[in-house]
């Protein structure tokens, strides 16, 4: 059902639909990728937190530091450089009471001196802390401690208890990570260590990737729209014009569509448009040719049919044997004319079909012509006493680009035509030579009555009107077929009467290969 629907879409709609599917798939993978970025970045920071917690626990146990406020504060001061890259490290005892916080290191600037002395220890001693520092410590956000206690309670009651666990919390302008782990000594829980870090870099990285994806999506969408416009403007519409052009021809519409603007293009559509117009023109010529030929054929058949009808009607009413014999000869003559017309017409159609499958090759026409002459001599020299001579100008080869059996057909048709008008014991000459302009010239000279036409080009028309008396022996298509075959070989054929004596000359010129 889906494939059937897709096939019914236009090229532009198919293009947009396929791009939409691809864009959707890429979008899904992008969403999956973005969703996996945050856990991976959190995991990297969580591993760093866990390493710090594990090192801190090892130091606490090695130094036998007790989880009480005074010892933890001294430990924090002595190891303050370990935690200075972190936002905050908080210690809780087993009862979830706050016993240490790296934020207290910021209460006294002397806490970061490189030398350990009694004054610095006093700054960490809750009993000796001065009033100013007490006031500052009271300014610590109590809500944060409340949230830390909630995290601790969740951790204690969760399945992750005993292993490090990281919580992520995102506010409007902050992204915080909190990693917590319990501390055990001799299989007894003695407290908890909690590391919290401002991980806005994760949020920035995610936002940057999201912004990149959005920009990319907008850019890709914009490119698709531009390409769709180009595809529609320069490809789809011209193709639609070609489709409309072919439909008008098929439906024989009176509306004329011009594809001249497409023909001037230098791309494949321009080639297609020119090929389509050439094919259409050729097809229209063939249709017109077939229609004209059919009209001429019907006209030619109508004459002998009318003669047949008249002769047959008279034959019924006559009793004279001489008259009946004469009428029978007329009937036989007209039947032969109709038979030749139909036979030659059928052969002409077969030739047109065969020509489309035949290939033009380089051939030497000299042996072809000589072979046809020999065949005709063997038949008509005995039958009518007509002698057909062959001669050439002594060249070894007469090469042209042509079709061998069509050259045979040309020579055979011309000889057959000449023989029909040549008297008994007459002579026909076939002369082959090469002209000064490097063309192959074939002349067939007979001793018939010649042509009556002043315009010799008319004799190559189908059923031309001013025919010789012996036309009944021919269909009137032979010379027209010869002309078409000569044109196929890019040659020219010219008819003329002999200057000395009776007879005609048929001269063909072919370009050399």
The DSSP-derived string for 127-164 is TT--HHHHHHHHTS-HHHHHHHHHHHHHHHHSTTTTS-
The total of other beta-carbon atoms located within 10 Å of residue 218's CB is 10
pLDDT at 430: 94
Q: Which two tokens stand for residue 11?
A: 């090229």
Q: Confirm if 446 and 418 have CB atoms less than 8 A apart.
A: yes
Distances (CA, A) of 497 to 325, 331, 391, 470, 483: 37, 33, 20, 17, 18
In total, the chain counts a number of residues equal to 513
The total of other beta-carbon atoms located within 10 Å of residue 166's CB is 19
Phi/psi of residue 317, nearest 5 degrees:
-100, -5
**Residue intervals in the chain for CATH 3.30.450:** 49-199
Per CATH, the number for 360-513 is 3.30.565.10
Integer-rounded Cα radius of gyration of the chain: 54
Q: Confirm if 452 and 465 have CB atoms less than 8 A apart.
A: no
The residues, ordered by sequence, that sit 6+ positions from 6 with a Cβ below 8 Å of its Cβ are 14, 17
**Residue intervals in the chain for CATH 3.30.565.10:** 360-513
Per-residue pLDDT of the chain in tens (513 residues, 90 and over written 9): 556 555 566 666 777 777 778 878 887 887 887 777 778 888 888 888 888 888 888 888 888 888 888 888 888 877 766 676 677 888 998 888 888 888 766 544 344 333 333 333 333 344 333 444 444 444 444 445 556 777 788 888 888 888 888 888 877 677 888 899 999 888 889 999 988 888 888 878 878 888 888 888 888 888 888 887 887 777 777 877 777 878 777 777 666 667 777 777 777 777 888 887 888 877 877 777 777 767 767 766 777 788 788 878 787 778 777 878 888 887 887 787 777 778 777 777 777 667 667 788 999 999 999 999 998 888 887 777 889 999 998 887 899 999 998 899 899 889 988 888 888 888 999 999 998 888 999 999 998 888 877 778 888 877 664 455 554 455 567 788 888 889 889 999 999 988 877 889 999 999 998
pLDDT at 445: 92
pLDDT at 316: 76
Helix (H, G, I), strand (E, B) or coil at 397: coil
Beta bridge partners of 495: 506
CA-to-CA distance for 491 and 509, rounded, in angstroms?
5
CB burial of residue 189 (10 Å; 0-12, 13-18, 19+)? middle
Q: How do the residues of the chain divide into helix, strand and coil, expressed in percent and rounded to 5?
A: 60, 15, 25
CA 144, chain centre distance (Å): 65
Q: Which two tokens stand for residue 281?
A: 């023109």
Q: Which fold has domain 49-199?
A: Beta-Lactamase (3.30.450)
Question: Where is 300: in which H helix or E strand?
Answer: helix 268-317
HEC-encoded secondary structure of 70-110? HHHHHHHHHCHHHHCCCCEEEEEECCCCEEEEHHHHHCCHH
Distances (CA, A) of 146 to 143, 151, 167: 5, 9, 15
Helix (H, G, I), strand (E, B) or coil at 315: helix
Per CATH, the number for 258-357 is 1.10.287.130
- Which residue from 141, 155, 232, 143 is spatially nearest to 189, judged by alpha carbons? 155
Q: How many CA atoms lie within 13 A of 457 on its CB side?
A: 1
pLDDT at 506: 92
HEC-encoded secondary structure of 470-513? HHHHCCCCHHHHHHHHHHHCCCEEEEEECCCCCCEEEEEEEEEC
- Which residue from 396, 448, 460 is spatially nearest to 421, judged by alpha carbons? 448
Q: How does pLDDT run across 402-452, given as a tens digit for each residue?
A: 999 889 989 988 998 888 888 888 899 999 999 888 899 999 999 888 887
Distances (CA, A) of 400 to 290, 358, 441, 509: 30, 16, 11, 10
Phi/psi of residue 414, nearest 5 degrees:
-65, -40
């Amino acid at each position: 059902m889906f494939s059937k629907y897709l096939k019914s879409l236009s090229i532009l709609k198919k293009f947009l639909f396929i791009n939409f599917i691809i864009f959707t798939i890429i979008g899904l993978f992008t969403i999956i990728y973005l969703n996996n970025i945050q856990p991976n970045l959190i995991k990297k920071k969580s591993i760093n937190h866990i390493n710090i917690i594990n090192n801190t626990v090892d130091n606490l146990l090695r130094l036998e530091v007790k989880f009480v406020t005074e010892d933890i504060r001294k430990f924090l001061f002595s190891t303050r450089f370990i935690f200075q890259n972190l936002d905050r490290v908080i210690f809780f005892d087993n009862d979830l009471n706050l016993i240490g916080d790296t934020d207290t290191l910021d209460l006294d600037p002397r806490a970061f001196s490189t030398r350990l002395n009694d004054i610095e220890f006093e700054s960490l001693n809750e009993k000796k802390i001065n009033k100013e520092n007490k006031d500052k410590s009271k300014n610590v956000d109590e809500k944060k401690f409340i949230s830390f206690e909630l995290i601790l309670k969740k951790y204690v009651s969760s399945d992750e208890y005993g292993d490090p666990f990281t919580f992520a919390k995102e506010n409007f302008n902050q992204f915080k990570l909190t990693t917590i782990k319990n501390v055990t000594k001799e299989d007894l829980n003695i407290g908890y260590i909690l590391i919290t870090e401002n991980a806005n870099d994760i949020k920035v990285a995610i936002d940057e990737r999201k912004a990149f994806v959005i920009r990319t999506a907008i850019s890709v969408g914009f490119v698709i729209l531009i390409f769709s416009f180009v595809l529609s403007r320069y490809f789809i519409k011209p193709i639609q014009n070609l489709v409309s052009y072919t439909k008008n021809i098929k439906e024989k519409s009176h509306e004329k569509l011009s594809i001249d603007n497409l023909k001037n293009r230098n791309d494949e559509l321009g080639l297609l448009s020119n090929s389509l117009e050439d094919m259409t023109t050729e097809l229209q010529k063939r249709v017109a040719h077939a229609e004209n030929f059919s009209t001429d054929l019907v006209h030619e058949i109508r004459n002998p049919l009318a003669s047949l009808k008249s002769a047959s009607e008279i034959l019924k009413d006559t009793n004279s044997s001489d008259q009946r014999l004469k009428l029978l000869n007329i009937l036989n003559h007209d039947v032969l004319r109709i038979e030749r017309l139909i036979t030659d017409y059928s052969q002409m159609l077969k030739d047109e079909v065969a020509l489309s499958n035949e290939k033009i090759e380089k051939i030497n026409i000299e042996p072809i012509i000589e072979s046809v002459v020999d065949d005709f001599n063997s038949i008509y020299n005995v039958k009518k006493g007509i002698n057909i001579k062959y001669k050439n100008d002594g060249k070894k080869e007469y090469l042209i680009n042509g079709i061998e059996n069509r050259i045979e057909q040309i020579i055979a048709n011309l000889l057959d035509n000449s023989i029909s008008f040549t008297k008994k014991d007459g002579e026909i000459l076939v002369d082959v030579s090469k002209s000064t302009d490097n063309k192959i010239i074939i002349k067939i000279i007979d001793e018939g009555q010649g042509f009556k036409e002043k315009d010799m080009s008319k004799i190559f028309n189908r059923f031309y009107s001013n025919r010789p008396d012996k036309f009944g022996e021919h269909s009137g298509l032979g010379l027209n077929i010869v002309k078409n075959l000569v044109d196929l070989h890019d040659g020219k054929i010219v008819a003329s009467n002999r200057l000395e004596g009776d007879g005609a000359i048929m001269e063909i010129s072919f370009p050399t290969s």
